[in-house]
Amino acid sequence: MRIVAALEALKSEGKLPADLTLVGIEAAPPRGPNHGDVASNAAMVLAKSARMKPRDIAEALTDKLRSDPEIARVEVAGPGFLNITFVPAFWQQAVARIRTAGVDYGRTDLGRGERVNVEYVSANPTGPMHVGHCRGAVVGDTLANLLAFVGYDVTREYYINDAGGQVDMLARSAYLRYREALGEDIGVIPDGFYPGDYLKPVGTALAEKYGPSLLGKPEVDWLGQVRIFALDMMMSLIRDDLAQLGIAHDVFFSERSLMAGNRDIVAETIATLRDEGHVYQGRLEPPKGEVNPDWEDREQTLFRSTAFGDDADRALLKSDGTYTYFAPDIAYHKTKWERGFKHIIDVVGADHAGYKKRLQAAVAAVSGGKGKIDVIFCQLVKLFKDGQPFKMSKRAGTFITVRDVVDEVGRDPVRFMMLYRKNDSPLDFDLAKVIEQSKENPVFYVQMAHARAKSVFRNVAEVFPDLTETSRGVIDADLTLLTDAGELDMVKKLAFFPELIEGAARAHEPHRIAFYLYEVASSFHGHWARGNETPQLRYIQADNKAITAARLALVAVHAQVLATGLAILGVGAPQELR
C-alpha cells in the first residue's frame, strides 16, 4: 500500500514514467530476519517497463518511504529488493488493531455476499461413513467455513447417490436381514450383497413395520418400499457420523429426485442440450491400452464435452437405456446453476480424477459458459494399523468407521490431521499413531498454545485480580511497553493473519490455516520458554502492573487469533489441556 502510494508520488514528480502500470508488485515477509519486516520486489518488477535500473528505482522509492513515520529503516539489497523495517510502535499498535477487530479480525469482504455451493462428502448411502470419507468431509467443511468467513454466502450440500444399482443391492441386502429378523436362517451373505452388521437393525425395523407381509413376494412388490426405508436409515446413520465430525449440511440433494414424480429433469436437460448441439448420437473410440473384453462398438447418446476441453465425449445412456452416472450429474449441476450459485465447488476423492474436465464441460454447457466450478481432489487416505497397510472394503464388511475413530481419538485430532496436509498429497493415517502417540499430533501443540494463554489469565488473578481479559486495564494498556523481540515476533505473526486467510480462501486451500496456526503457536511457546530462563520476560510481572497489562493484551490477541483460526478448522480451542 505504502509502496504503491510512493510509486504514484514518484510518477507525479516525473521520476518514473507516468504511464507505468503497477502490476506484480509484492510486499511479503522475507525469509530471513536480516531483511527487515517486509520485503518488496517493486523495483525489479518495474525496471523493465520503466526502462530504468532496478537500483535507481529502489533508491528513489527509499527516499519516499523514509518520510513515513512508521517506517524505521529502508534498505536496498541484492539486485534491488526493498527491505522495510517498521518502527516498534507500528507493531505495538497492531495489537490494538487486532483486539479492536475482535472475532472479526481476519474477516474480509472477498466474497461480497456472492452465493457459493460447496458439495462435499456425498458418500454412497449404502452404509456408515468410513475413515476414507473423512478427508473430503473435513476439507469441504473447512473450506465452507473459510469462504463464509470471507464474506461468501455458502451453502453446504450433500448429493445422495440414491438412483444407481447400488441402492437396489442395499435394498436386497436389507430384505435379507428382514428375513433374518423374522427368524429365517439366511446362511452366508451372497456375493455382491452388503454384508455389514449395520444392516441388521434395518432388517429388524422392517420386520417391526411390515411384519411378515413382505415375505414370499416377488422383488418388484417390495423393492421400492424397502429401498426407501433402508435409504432413510442409512442417511440418518451418515448424518450421525457427520455430526460426530461437527458437520451439518444445509441441503441433502437426492439424485433420484431429478427423475422422480411427473418430471424427468435429466431427460429435460438432455433434450435442451441436444437442441443446443451439445448432445448427439455417435460412436466412441474404445479406450487405448488394456483391452476391455466387454467393449462393444455401438451408437450411443453422447455429450460433446470435447467442445469444452474434455478428452473424449461422454456417454449419457447405458446399453440398457438407463442413465449413466454422468447424465443426472449434468442435470444436478444445472440445478446448482439455476438455484443461483455463482461459484460451484465439488470436493471429491482422487478416484474421480478424470471427472474434472467433464464436470467443467457440463457446467459450461448448462450455464452458457458463465458458471464457475472448481473441483477439489482429496488424495487417498492410506490407512495403517500397527504400521501395516490396512485394506478396507465396504462389500467385504472390513472397514473402520468414522465413529470408531472419533470415539477413539476425538473429533479435534481427526479434523486437524485431515487438514495438516495439502489435499493433493496422499495422507497416511496410522490408527496406532493417532491413538497412542497423540501427543505427536500437532493439534495438541496448537491447542496448548491457546490453553497456556488462558492459563496466564487464570494466574494473574492472584496478583492483579482486576486485570481480566476484557478489563479496561488490559484494553487500555500502554502497548509501547512491548519492546522485547520475542513479543514483537508474536505480533508480526498475528498481523499476517488477514493475508493468510485471504490467500487460503482464494486458493481454496484450507490446510494453509492449519500450518499457520502451528507457526503462531510456535512463536508463543518459544517466547514462553524464554520466560522460564529469563523471569523478566514472563507475562506476569508482580511488581509492574503496567508491563503486565501490556503483555496480557498481547496474550489476549494471541488467544483470539488462535481461537478464530481453530473455529474455521472446526477444532476446539480449550481453556486448559491437562
Partner RNA sequence: GGUCCCGUAGCUCAGCCGGAUAGAGCAGCCGCCUUCUAAGCGGCAGGUCGCAGGUUCGAAUCCUGCCGGGAUCGCCA
Residues 412-451 that bind RNA (CB under 7 A): 421-422, 424-428, 438-440, 442, 444-445, 448, 451
Cβ at position 451, least distance to RNA in Å: 3
What does DSSP say about strands 279-282 and 300-303: parallel, antiparallel, or unpaired? antiparallel
State yes or no: residue 105 binds RNA (CB under 7 A): no
Binder of RNA out of 85, 93, 272, 324 (CB under 7 A):
324
Residues 530-569 that bind RNA (CB under 7 A): 530-533, 535, 537-540
State yes or no: residue 298 binds RNA (CB under 7 A): yes
Alpha-carbon distance values, 437 to 70, 88, 122, 442 (Å): 47, 41, 31, 11
**215: buried, middle or exposed (CB in 10 Å: 19+, 13-18, 0-12)?**
middle
Cβ at position 447, least distance to RNA in Å: 8
Residues 45-84 that bind RNA (CB under 7 A): 45, 47-48, 77-79, 81, 83
Alpha-carbon distance values, 324 to 163, 306, 333 (Å): 10, 18, 15
Residues 127-186 that bind RNA (CB under 7 A): 161, 163-166
Say how many residues touch RNA, by CB under 7 A.
103
Binder of RNA out of 365, 509, 550, 554 (CB under 7 A):
509
Residue placing its CB nearer to RNA in the complex, 207 or 273: 273
Cβ at position 281, least distance to RNA in Å: 12
Residue placing its CB nearer to RNA in the complex, 217 or 318: 318
State yes or no: residue 257 binds RNA (CB under 7 A): no
Binder of RNA out of 19, 290, 386, 543 (CB under 7 A):
290
CA distance 194 to 171: 9
Binder of RNA out of 105, 149, 377, 399 (CB under 7 A):
377
Mapping DSSP to helix (H, G, I), strand (E, B) and coil, where does residue 271 land? helix
Alpha-carbon distance values, 435 to 346, 386, 416, 446, 505 (Å): 31, 11, 14, 18, 31
Residue placing its CB nearer to RNA in the complex, 212 or 287: 287
Cβ at position 236, least distance to RNA in Å: 19
**Of 410, 343, 341, 406, which Cα lies nearest the Cα of 372?**
343
CA distance 37 to 561: 20
Binder of RNA out of 503, 508, 563, 572 (CB under 7 A):
503
Residues 217-256 that bind RNA (CB under 7 A): 255
Binder of RNA out of 8, 17, 22, 30 (CB under 7 A):
30
State yes or no: residue 456 binds RNA (CB under 7 A): yes
Binder of RNA out of 102, 192, 354, 389 (CB under 7 A):
354
State yes or no: residue 333 binds RNA (CB under 7 A): no
Is the alpha carbon torsion for 423, 428, 430, 431 positive or negative? positive
**Count of CB atoms situated within 10 Å of the CB of 110:** 15
Choose the stretch contacting RNA; rule: CB under 7 A; options: 314-322, 334-342, 403-411, 487-495: 314-322
User: Maximum distance among all alpha carbons in the chain?
Assistant: 94
Are 557 and 450 in contact by the 8 Å Cβ rule? The answer is no
CA distance 382 to 309: 32
Q: What is the DSSP string of 440-461?
A: GSHHHHHHHHHHHHHHHHHHHH
CA distance 170 to 164: 10
Binder of RNA out of 239, 356, 372, 545 (CB under 7 A):
356
